[in-house]
Copies of this chain bind each other. A is one copy, B any other.
Amino acid sequence: MRDELPTAAIPGADLGWMLGVILQAWHEAVEDALSDVPQGIRGYRILTVAAHHKPATQSELARHLSIDRTVLPYILDELESAGLVERHVDAKDRRARRVVITDDGRVRLRRAEAAVQAAQDEVLAGVPTGTRKRFLHSASALALSIHSAQPYLDPCLAVLDVVRE
C-alpha cells in the first residue's frame, strides 16, 4: 500500500474532498435533469431497481438507497400517486410489499435514463476519454468491493442478480 497518493500532493484536497466535489457536481447536474421524476434521484433509483431487478421489498430498497426505512413511505406515496409504481403484497410474506414498476413508470424511466446519461457526460467532460474510462471502471470495482464487504447479514440488494429481459 502507500501508493503515490494525490492526497499528499495537494494538501486540503484529500480523497474525501475530491469525491465530494465530484459527487456534488453529479448530484446537481442529475437532480436538475430529473425535474420531472418525483423525488428526483431517489425516485429514479427506485424506478431503476424496480425495472431491472426482481421486485424488491421496501426494506431492501431502503438499504440500497442508504436511507432509513421510515423515509421510504412518503417517497413511494409520490411515485405511486404519479402512477409510476405499485405496492404489491408479497404472497409468501404478507407483511412485505414488493415495489413493482408500471408501464407508465417504464416510459418515464426511459426518458430519465437518457437525461441522466447526458447530465453525467457533462460532469465528466472536463477530462480526456482515457481518464474518464479509468475513473468509471476503478470506481465501479471499488464500490462493489466495499458494498459486498458490508456487514449486512441480510444483504442489501443482490446487485448482480439482475433480471435481463
Contact = CB atoms under 8 A, between A and B. Distances in A.
Contacts of A127: 138, 141-142, 145
A12 B149 contact: no
Assembly of this chain: how many copies? Answer: 2
Contacts of A162: 10-11
Contacts of A123: 146
A89 interface: no
A131 B140 CA distance: 10
A147 B3 contact: no
Contact of A139 (B15, B52, B66): B15
A159 interface: yes
Interface string A20-55: 111111110010000000000100010011011100
B132 A135 contact: no
A16 B1 contact: no
Given A11-B162, A134-B137, 6 more contacts: A1-B124, A6-B139, A11-B49, A12-B159, A19-B22, A131-B142
